[in-house]
């Protein structure tokens, strides 16, 4: 089922439509306030110390965790899933989806926050993917230190982890995984505003609504955002 041949929504008059929007707005405001309350609780969470000298690999070789803050007080690290030895087309479509939306970082920088990707694969191979995608965010390999940095959490899954730097010490303040990493995403939030939504099978939609996007972040066998890079003549090979 596609949008072109999907059933048409019910049509009503303006007054009835506006009454429905007003009802949604009440629920949306409650949802926003609930999110504010959760964020307030997050700000009151205790923290756990992490070894500030934990080693990552970056553009200048071995780099201690504390240096990935780039002098700022806080760090948001996206733990990028990785499939060693595979070409660009076979790398994680979800991580690609999320990080393709990370471009202008001046706003988070203005709040003393650095955003960086901690790839779970080797640096030399994965940084070629960073360059293939034409990304500009800081990129490191956390492969050698995942047991320390993920501390009992599942290696190989996407995570977003937040850190705080105090002088020469580093503290973990929050982490999330699964749909929690949608914090990085704007596309889904925009889709959720539309009448057909994300068009994915799990959604609660009216009968006959398009829900055919099984590979929700792939198009013709590869992460959707890669097609512009392929059309520009870039190579899928990441092994040099």
* Domain spans in the chain, listed from the N-terminal domain onward: 46-240
pLDDT higher than 80, residue 127: yes
pTM reported for the whole predicted model: 0.92
Determine the pLDDT at residue 9: 93
> Could you report the per-residue pLDDT of 36-76, keeping only the tens digit for each?
999 999 999 999 999 999 999 999 999 999 999 999 999 99
Q: How far apart are the first and last CA of the chain?
A: 42
Cβ–Cβ < 8 Å for 170, 66: yes
Which of the listed CATH numbers 3.40.50.10470, 3.40.30.10, 3.40.718.10, 3.40.605.10 matches domain 46-240?
A: 3.40.30.10
Q: How much is the pLDDT for 1? A: 67
Q: Alpha-carbon distance 134 to 61, whole Å?
A: 21
**pLDDT score of 221:** 86
**Per-residue pLDDT, 215:** 60
Please name every residue paired with 84 in a beta bridge, in sequence order, or none if there are none.
Answer: none
Q: What is the DSSP string of 14-54?
A: HHHHHHHHHHHHHHHHHHHHHHHHHHHHHHT---EEE-TT-
- Cβ atoms of residues 175 and 162 within 8 Å: yes
Burial class (CB in 10 A: 0-12, 13-18, 19+), 140: buried
């Amino acid at each position: 089922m596609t949008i072109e041949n999907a059933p048409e929504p019910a049509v009503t008059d303006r007054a009835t439509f506006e009454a429905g929007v007003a009802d949604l707005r009440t629920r949306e405001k409650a949802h926003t306030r609930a999110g504010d309350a959760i964020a307030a609780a997050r700000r009151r969470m205790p923290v756990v110390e992490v070894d500030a000298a934990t080693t990552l690999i970056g553009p200048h070789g071995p780099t201690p965790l504390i240096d990935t803050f780039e002098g700022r007080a806080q760090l948001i690290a996206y733990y990028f899933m990785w499939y060693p030895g595979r070409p660009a087309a076979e790398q994680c479509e979800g991580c690609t989806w999320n990080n393709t939306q990370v471009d202008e970082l001046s706003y988070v920088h203005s709040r003393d926050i650095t955003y960086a990707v901690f790839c779970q694969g080797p640096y030399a191979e994965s940084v070629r993917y960073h360059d293939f995608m034409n990304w500009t965010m800081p990129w490191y390999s956390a492969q050698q230190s995942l047991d320390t940095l993920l501390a009992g959490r599942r290696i190989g899954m996407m995570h977003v982890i937040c850190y705080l730097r105090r002088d020469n010490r580093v503290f973990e303040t929050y982490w999330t995984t699964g749909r929690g990493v949608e914090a990085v995403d704007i596309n889904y939030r925009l889709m959720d505003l539309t009448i057909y939504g994300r068009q994915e099978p799990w959604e609660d939609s009216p009968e006959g609504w398009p829900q055919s996007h099984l590979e929700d972040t792939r198009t013709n066998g590869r992460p959707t955002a890669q097609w512009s890079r392929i059309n520009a003549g870039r190579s899928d090979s990441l092994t040099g």
